[in-house]
């Protein structure tokens, strides 16, 4: 048994970069919230989650390229993908028999393909979710026409992520088994490139242009993260043509709430009882009432493409529609951390003065990047 060069430096950079960026995507996602672990605010870290997800996609595409062009042990042709060989390998593991695979063993071969395939699908569905749920990213054009499928795409994205994590967990267990029970030096090999083997060393070489392209490609995710983290745009709201009568009659007493902050039934109930409008008489003539009600119902939360509106509706569910936005479960959840003293500031004055903190609230947009709590 001798130590030979197995893993080229590009493969090692790819490996540890993938470990780092996948870990970042998990921590900054809401996957852990399913286990009751809220390590970070998922909205605050969304941009970083997307950036590291893109980095993972770039790395996996590099690995496909390197799987055809790279040195022998990095090529797909060196993988052991025979099912019979895989079965024999697992039998050897159970019997604690040492195996001699200089590159990927059969289990590692299958896990490598699984990580590449599921990883790319997770990145792709992540881009779809970002476009459908947030109206941002390279697939933002899907937002207006296909946003009702956002939940389904998110479910698929999460399922792929869980399967990917399961494969990674199995891969790590296999590496630890080989390291602890047989001392094959797998983990140090991914740092040094050298591994114990009975095989003869295969010279690792590549033409200069190919080495340059491979180094630029495998290191490019770092640049992508810095660029995307600082340049990813916030989705702009769809501006409505608001009737002047609505601004005059409703906006003169309080903020003229955008229609998508309440369901249609809430608006209908409110407009049908203007004589007792939260303790005040807000009666107006029939023509104005009809025009305002039609505007509010036509653009109510059910019909809005804005993220907050859809989450309002989902949180209400089958419960009776509330008369106030501050009674909506999702509104309560998002505003729970805010102390009552903040609402009493002269710059805010009221819990329903949305424009004080949400600079695009008048358009029905409540994106996190647009929140500024005044002093």
Q: Tell me, yes or no, whether 263 and 312 share the same domain.
A: yes
CA atoms within 13 A on the CB side of 358: 20
239 domain-assigned: no
Give the range of the structural domain holding residue 296, as residue numbers without chain letter. Answer: 244-370
Q: Tell me, yes or no, whether 92 and 127 share the same domain.
A: yes
214 domain-assigned: yes
Percent of the chain with pLDDT over 90: 43
pLDDT level of residue 218 (50, 70, 90 thresholds): very high
Averaged pLDDT score across all residues of the chain: 87
298 domain-assigned: yes
pLDDT level of residue 54 (50, 70, 90 thresholds): very high
- Report how many domains make up the chain: 2
Q: Which range is least confidently modeled, 17-31, 52-66, 101-115, 195-209?
A: 195-209
- Over residues 232-289, the pLDDT tens digits come to 655 666 777 888 998 888 888 888 889 999 999 999 999 999 999 888 888 999 999 9
Q: Tell me, yes or no, whether 24 and 74 share the same domain.
A: yes
Q: Tell me, yes or no, whether 205 and 290 share the same domain.
A: no
Partnered with residue 3 across adjacent β-strands are 196
Q: Tell me, yes or no, whether 21 and 110 share the same domain.
A: yes
- pLDDT exceeds cutoff 90 at 17: yes
Q: Tell me, yes or no, whether 216 and 344 share the same domain.
A: no
Inter-CA distances, 117 with 110, 234, 236, 240, Å? 11, 30, 34, 43
Partnered with residue 197 across adjacent β-strands are 2
Percent of the chain with pLDDT over 70: 92
Q: Tell me, yes or no, whether 253 and 342 share the same domain.
A: yes
238 domain-assigned: no
348 domain-assigned: yes
Q: Any idea what the CATH number is for the domain that residue 183 is in?
A: 1.20.950.20
Q: Tell me, yes or no, whether 264 and 317 share the same domain.
A: yes
375 domain-assigned: no
Q: Which of 186, 204, 231 finishes a domain?
A: 231
């Amino acid at each position: 048994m001798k130590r030979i060069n197995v893993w080229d430096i590009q493969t090692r950079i790819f490996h540890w970069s993938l470990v780092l960026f996948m870990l970042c995507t998990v921590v900054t996602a809401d996957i852990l919230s399913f286990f009751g672990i809220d390590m970070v605010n998922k909205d605050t870290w969304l941009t970083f989650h997307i950036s590291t997800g893109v980095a993972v996609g770039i790395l996996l595409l590099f690995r496909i390229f390197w799987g055809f062009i790279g040195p022998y042990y990095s090529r797909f042709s060196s993988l052991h993908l025979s099912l019979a060989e895989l079965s024999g390998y697992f039998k050897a593991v159970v019997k604690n028999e040492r195996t001699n695979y200089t590159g990927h063993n059969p289990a590692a071969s299958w896990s490598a393909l699984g990580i590449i395939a599921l990883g790319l699908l997770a990145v792709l569905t992540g881009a779809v979710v970002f476009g459908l749920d947030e109206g941002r990213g390279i697939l933002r054009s899907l937002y207006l026409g296909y946003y009702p499928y956002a939940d389904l795409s998110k479910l698929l994205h999460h399922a792929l992520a869980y399967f990917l994590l399961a494969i990674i967990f199995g891969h790590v267990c296999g590496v630890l088994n080989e390291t602890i029970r047989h001392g094959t030096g797998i983990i140090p090999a991914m740092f040094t490139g050298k591994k114990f083997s009975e095989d003869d060393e295969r010279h690792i070489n590549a033409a200069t242009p190919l080495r340059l392209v491979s180094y630029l490609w495998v290191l490019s995710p770092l640049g992508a993260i810095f660029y995307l983290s600082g340049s990813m745009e916030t989705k702009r709201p769809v501006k409505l043509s608001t009737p002047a009568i609505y601004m005059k009659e409703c906006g003169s007493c309080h903020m003229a709430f955008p229609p998508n902050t309440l369901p249609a039934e809430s608006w209908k109930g409110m407009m049908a009882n203007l004589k007792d409008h939260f303790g005040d008489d807000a009666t107006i003539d029939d023509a104005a009432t009809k025009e305002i009600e039609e505007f509010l119902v036509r653009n109510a939360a059910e019909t809005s493409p804005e993220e907050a509106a859809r989450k309002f509706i989902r949180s209400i569910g089958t419960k009776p529609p509330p008369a106030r936005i501050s009674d909506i479960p999702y509104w309560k959840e998002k505003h729970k951390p805010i102390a009552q003293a903040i609402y009493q500031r002269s710059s805010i004055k009221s819990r329903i003065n949305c424009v004080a903190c949400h600079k695009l609230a008048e358009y029905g947009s409540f994106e996190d990047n647009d929140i500024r709590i005044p002093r």
